[in-house]
Amino acid sequence: MPTPPSAPQRPFAILRHGDVRSDPYYWLMDREDPEVLDHLRAENEYLAEALAPLKPLEDELFAEIKGRIEETDISVPVRRRSWWYFDRTREGLNYPISCRVPAVGDVLTPPVIDPNLTLAGEQVILDENAEAGDRPFLSIGVLAVSPDDEWVAVGTDFEGGELHRVTVRPLAGQAPVEDVLEDVYYGFAWANDSRHFFYTRVDDTMRPWQLWRHEVGTDASADVLVFQEDDAQYIVSVARSRDDAMIVVAANSSMTSEVHYVPADEPTGALQMLDARRHGIEYGVEHYTDSLARGWWLKVTNEDATDFRLLARLVSGGDWREVVAERPGNRLDGVDAFKGFLAFSERHEGCAAVRIATTQLGDDPFGAGLLERSTLVDGDASPSSVWISANPTYDTTQLRVMITSLVTPMLVADVVVASGEVIVRKQQKVLGGYDASNYVTGRLWVSASDGERIPVSVVARRDAVDVSADGTLSPRAPSPFLLYGYGSYETSIDPSFSTLRLSLLDRGVIFAIAHVRGGGEMGRSWYEMGRLAQKPTTFSDFVAVARHLIDEGWTTPGQLAARGGSAGGLLMGAVMNLAPALFRAVVAEVPFVDALTTMLDSSLPLTVGEWEEWGNPDASASAYRTMKGYSPYDNVRATNDDGTQRVYPHLYSSGGLNDPRVGFWEPAKWILKLRDANPANLAFLKTEMGAGHGGPSGRYDAWRDEAQVLAWVLNEINPGTTTRTPG
């Protein structure tokens, strides 16, 4: 094994609440310092040299990944006004090509398109490969066609910093315009006149705080500031309603919402406020136009409803009335409004689900018993995930959904609302002879330290587990095991299919997702039990799941790996400190591991806005103590409680030099501190020198990156194995 890089310690004192913390690697935060860049390159070189013996396995895995994917493919076309929109991918090209073809009549059945042929009248809206050229990174943050179908706004990011250069391009043969807008964030909405559009900008901390209006054909210097949010805990977003009636502007913190709007026909009009912010009250809205041409607001809110409820009111005025009551444990995530029905995104038995309810003609479009006359769109396995897909047309009679599970390749289907018929438009093709019957999925329930039952979604080769008559899974023998976790921001890590994961399963590795508290899988209370002062519950839940897997014979500490990214990387760092002996290896991608230092620095991106998630350790001594108690960087130890030398799991970590969400220095500092605690700790760092939070942008680069991670994991928990045909 080559010698890992080292860096000089330059202690920097951080004082809060009478407590002094000395950070030896604080200086690594300076991305302009040549010494910092040299150190990151040295870490990359060390990783490459140390993992060179795994290159044959990496190449084998890359070939498997690539060989399962239909490289020349096409997405299911989506109808929007008089066009069908779709994406092409071509073998050898890193990025998709966005296209459209004219639609004829009112047909809702998408055309069947040969991926190798071009249709008559087909138009390329954006070829991302041509856009990228020879640049190593490209992300498209804005791609919006105007309501008259004659213009497209394109926002490009070539560094991964999530700031975009927006240009407006002709689609109907008209003369080009010179419009260029720099440093545009996500969020974009055209007005109905196809001359004006709205976009957002960020402040110095990368917080979207301003809404601007632009007129096509004018210089950006003439753009109008429409709205500015001065409270640093709030972010601004903008969207256009599906019925083309409203431009909706939201200002949201982690716990509080406020919505403003302007009619899409009146883009230069003044914003109007819907409901003023009240601390702790969250709401999101949808606009609905009924059969009498009246506008309604639909509001999903937690006001008097922990798991949210649906209210409605006429835009012209009146009181809010309840349309769907709260159902404790079934979190209502959102509503999508269409001319003849509403589609609800919700949590059902801990899984992502979609429910469809028809509306009515006349004075009361929602009526009594809306929920009772609704239907649930089912997945074909348990656990499974159902999500609403792209549905830009307001007056459609079908709902496009996506259905998947850990063993079910992604299905794209249209649900006929009147009959409930599910028409499969396409299922993800897995080349190489994938047979779902050779794999099994199920859910375990693990008791946490306080008795709460933690759901765990599992997938394995059928020959690795036993399945009882009721579908309960049990291990045949301890196996190599990869346990994934996240557990923050009320984000649900729902089970979905991955062709990349097959390379693990076919080598005897069992994969599972621990749906720990802090996520949103089991409703709002699940989130509340894993945030702020209760954040350590997230970590103890994950440790409880790992111990259960070992105690019940699913795996052993020498065969168990854990993986998580971003806030899930914080989870990885915390459990490494809590129970290092439980895991052989850990993958922590763009990990938020220097949490306390980051949350004390209000000048860093996202810090102030995330105080409602983690607590404000600058203002609160108790929040400071809580975060200091679990922040991975602050809790790296050289010895165990009994005084013996602490040995941490082997670690593969990553960062992005241009990452605006988790600073590249967090994993860099953490790796060094782990080595300082014990030179025998094997820790690797890979820094993307030209990318951000999401890693490589091109699909072949991303597959190669994943092949390296999987090769490392396999070498750690299942060395010497080869692919076996499931049986």
> Is cis: bond before 383, omega within 30 of 0?
yes
Residue 204 burial class via C-beta count within 10 angstroms: exposed 0-12, middle 13-18, buried 19 and up: exposed
β-bridge partners, 473: 467
> What 3-state class would DSSP assign to 302?
coil
Task: Judge whether 154 and 165 are in contact, CB under 8 Å.
Answer: no
Locate the DSSP E strands across 17-60: 19-23
Distance of CA 182 to the CA centre of its chain: 25
Nearest alpha-carbon partner for 379 in 421, 427, 411: 411
E strand or H helix that includes residue 485: strand 481-485
Task: Judge whether 541 and 513 are in contact, CB under 8 Å.
Answer: no
- As a whole number of angstroms, the distance between CA 502 and CA 560 comes to 18
The tally of CA atoms less than 13 A away on the side-chain side of residue 151 is: 25
Task: Judge whether 48 and 697 are in contact, CB under 8 Å.
Answer: no
β-bridge partners, 73: 89
Where does 349-472 have alpha helices with state H? none
- As a whole number of angstroms, the distance between CA 79 and CA 85 comes to 6
- As a whole number of angstroms, the distance between CA 499 and CA 497 comes to 7
Task: Judge whether 124 and 101 are in contact, CB under 8 Å.
Answer: no
* Dihedral class, residue 532 (left if φ above 0, else alpha if ψ from -120 to 50, else beta): left
Q: What does DSSP assign to residue 631?
A: -
Nearest alpha-carbon partner for 614 in 371, 254, 82: 254
Q: How many CB atoms lie within 10 A of CB 69?
A: 18
- As a whole number of angstroms, the distance between CA 651 and CA 653 comes to 6
196 is catalytic: no
Catalytic residue among 241, 405, 566, 654: 566
Catalytic residue among 253, 515, 693, 705: 693
Catalytic residue among 333, 506, 659, 705: 659
**DSSP code string of 536-602:** HHHHHHHHHHHHHHHHTTS--GGGEEEEEETHHHHHHHHHHHH-GGG-SEEEEES----HHHHHT-T
Residue 610 burial class via C-beta count within 10 angstroms: exposed 0-12, middle 13-18, buried 19 and up: buried
End-to-end CA distance of the chain: give it in Å, rounded: 38
659 is catalytic: yes
Residue 550 burial class via C-beta count within 10 angstroms: exposed 0-12, middle 13-18, buried 19 and up: middle
Residues 6+ apart with CB under 8 A from 480: 507, 508, 509, 510, 555, 559, 561, 714, 717, 718, 721
Task: Judge whether 620 and 627 are in contact, CB under 8 Å.
Answer: no
The amino acid occupying position 94 is N
E strand or H helix that includes residue 706: helix 699-717
E strand or H helix that includes residue 36: helix 34-50
C-alpha pair distances (Å), 386 with each of 410, 411, 665: 10, 9, 37
566 is catalytic: yes
Rg (the chain; Cα; Å): 26
Catalytic residues: 566, 659, 693
